[in-house]
Amino acid sequence: MPILQVENLTVAIQSKIIFENVSFEIQKGRQYAIVGPSGSGKTALLHCLAGQSFYKGSIRAKPGVSIVLVEQQHHFKNLSNTSSFYYQQRFNSMDAGDAMTVHEYLNDLDSSSMGNEFFELLGIDKLLPKPLIQLSNGENKRVQLIRALTQSPDILLLDNPFLGLDIAARDSLNKILQSIIKKGITIILITGAQLIPGIITDVIELKEKSSRLINRALFMADNSIQLEIEKIDKSLLDELVNNEDGSFDYAIKMKNVHVQYYENVILDKINWEVKKGERWSLSGPNGAGKSTLLSLINADNPQAYANEIYLFDKRRGRGESIWDIKRKIGYVSPELHLFFDSSNTVFNVVASGLFDTIGLFRVVNEEQTTTITKWMKLLQVDHFSNQLLKNLSLGKQRLVLLARALVKDPPLLLLDEPSQGLDEEQAQLLKNLIEQICEHSNKTLIYVTHLKEEIPSCVTKFIQLENGRVVKS
């Protein structure tokens, strides 16, 4: 007998059908991956299985079966019992103090519950004093996983658990999932079609007008899994990208940069120079200090004033405003996505990039409207112009935020894991686009990823952080 049976499941959001007539059975002792292109309804399906969304059809679980969902993005409340965080808050010591620590967040857990067996394996003890808002992606996922395990689930639903994890963290998560399976827990997770972990036995594939449940080995051998990438419109790109990228010699200079929160040293003795037109890969394990380093460049971190940092040949704190800096930088990151106001339309989100605001508070003129529309077309999100950002799939949301970063054609691009959340075709589209932009202009690029295959071919320089220090440059 199956422990979970799904029959003719149909989900619609605002009268638009996300998927329809999806049917499959979940058997105990088998492990499942949900795959499909961006927008096919993978996350919506997990929400249905967890009882968090409306649907038509039937979902029947065996009596007594407990189902727990671990979301891809974690939203939490602060000590003031509100969830009104803003992106820069994680870098402001006083404001970040309103966020509860991991210890406070997990304080209500039953010490005798099954999940605590994984505390050491997940490295939770080391995270206990950290504020939730300052956790890296990988650290946040470990905290959410331990909380889910304490609920003793029979079926554990994981929305893209490997997203944003470094190689070591991915290996560690694989071992953790193997240990979870040994406890008799059934795992259903969302992942990319080319990144299905070894623990998976079966694949639930969602497509635009069909779905299927197939053995993993047969799925991987299926020759129909091919990438069909639309080519970049080079003539349109030529219209949008300026070859004159500002009068400066160095985009970034850092001398003995040190960042510390209370007793926690985040960056220590960072010396780094980025000349105009250079393309860099910034890498390092989760929690190494990459996001903090980028926050110093993007004028989001007040500790920049306590350090010797030069941006576009000018030392920080010598009269320039944060807006003077931001107008020269195109920035996208998982954290910005997490804190972005998703109640804006796609057009307004892209347009806000012209003014470096989280939302559109100005009227755009005809020329700006044309530029915004062209960037949306280049990134293939123009069809969603009037839709709310929150009603798009996470992959399409990422493309919209990338268009926001590019819309003002800045001389410096800070792209922090830009492929995170994209399906295979979207990720390849992004990579091709960045390579074309660099080929057509003298853009300076800082590109962050944990996967070498995602690094664009235009990148020729590399810097690696570990425990807040440069280990390779």
Mean pLDDT of 176-184: 91
pLDDT of residue 92: 53
Give the pairing of strands 56-61 and 32-35: unpaired
Domains and CATH numbers, the chain: 4-221 (3.40.50.300), 234-472 (3.40.50.300)
Give the pairing of strands 32-35 and 186-190: parallel
237-241, 421-425, 449-453, 454-458: range with highest mean pLDDT: 454-458
Separation between Cα atoms, residue 302 and residue 318, nearest integer Å: 14
Separation between Cα atoms, residue 396 and residue 426, nearest integer Å: 9
Q: Which residue has the higher pLDDT, 221 or 186?
A: 186
User: What is the overall mean pLDDT for the chain?
Assistant: 87
Separation between Cα atoms, residue 142 and residue 132, nearest integer Å: 12
4 by Cβ neighbours in 10 Å (0-12 / 13-18 / 19+) ranks as buried
Residue 29 sits at φ, ψ, to 5 deg, of 95, -5
Q: What angle do CA 151, 152, 155 make, to 5 degrees?
A: 105
211 beta partners:
206
Cβ–Cβ < 8 Å for 412, 328: yes
Q: Using the 8-state DSSP alphabet, how is residue 126 labeled? A: H
For the sheet with 314-315, list strands across it: 264-275, 250-261, 308-311, 314-315
The CA-based dihedral angle spanning residues 367, 373, 377, 378, taken in that order and rounded to the nearest 10 degrees: 50
Separation between Cα atoms, residue 381 and residue 373, nearest integer Å: 9
Structure tokens, 421: 């959340």
Among the residue ranges 131-145, 181-195, 455-469, the one predicted with the least confidence is 131-145
Spatial CB neighbours of 176, under 8 Å, sequence gap ≥ 6: 118, 121, 122, 145
Among the residue ranges 129-143, 195-209, 408-422, the one predicted with the least confidence is 129-143
pLDDT digits (tens, 9 = 90+) for 239-285: 999 877 778 999 999 999 999 987 889 999 999 999 999 999 999 98
pLDDT of residue 116: 64
pLDDT of residue 243: 72
pLDDT digits (tens, 9 = 90+) for 309-358: 999 999 998 888 899 999 999 999 988 887 788 889 999 999 999 999 88
Taking CA atoms, 362 is separated from 41, 119, 348, 351, 352, in Å, by 34, 49, 10, 9, 9
pLDDT of residue 250: 96
Cβ–Cβ < 8 Å for 263, 462: no
pLDDT of residue 458: 96
Q: Using the 8-state DSSP alphabet, how is residue 153 labeled? A: -
CA nearest to 19, candidates 211, 224, 202: 211
Structure tokens, 330: 């195109």
pLDDT of residue 225: 47
Q: Which residue has the higher pLDDT, 151 or 204?
A: 204
Among the residue ranges 201-205, 243-247, 380-384, the one predicted with the least confidence is 243-247
Cβ–Cβ < 8 Å for 54, 210: no
- In this predicted structure, the answer to whether residue 167 has a pLDDT above a threshold of 90 is no
Taking CA atoms, 93 is separated from 96, 127, 139, in Å, by 5, 17, 19
Mark 230-259 as b/e (b = at least 16 C-beta within 10 Å). eebeeeebeebbeeebeebebbbbbeebeb
pLDDT of residue 214: 92
- In this predicted structure, the answer to whether residue 117 has a pLDDT above a threshold of 80 is no
Structure tokens, 350: 């892209």
Q: What percent of the chain has pLDDT over 90?
A: 56
Structure tokens, 169: 């963290």
pLDDT of residue 94: 47
Cβ–Cβ < 8 Å for 347, 370: no
Separation between Cα atoms, residue 39 and residue 208, nearest integer Å: 9
Distance, CA of 369 to chain centre: 28
Q: Using the 8-state DSSP alphabet, how is residue 452 labeled? A: G
3-state secondary structure of 116: helix
pLDDT of residue 79: 56
Tokens 């950002």, located at residue: 389
Separation between Cα atoms, residue 471 and residue 473, nearest integer Å: 7
pLDDT of residue 98: 63
**DSSP per position, 324-344:** HHHTTEEEE-HHHHHHS-TTS
Taking CA atoms, 337 is separated from 190, 243, 382, 394, in Å, by 19, 29, 19, 9
Exposure of 435 in the CB half-sphere (CA atoms within 13 A): 13
Q: Using the 8-state DSSP alphabet, how is residue 317 labeled? A: T
Separation between Cα atoms, residue 112 and residue 110, nearest integer Å: 5
Q: Is pTM beyond 0.85 here?
A: no
Mean pLDDT of 345-373: 92
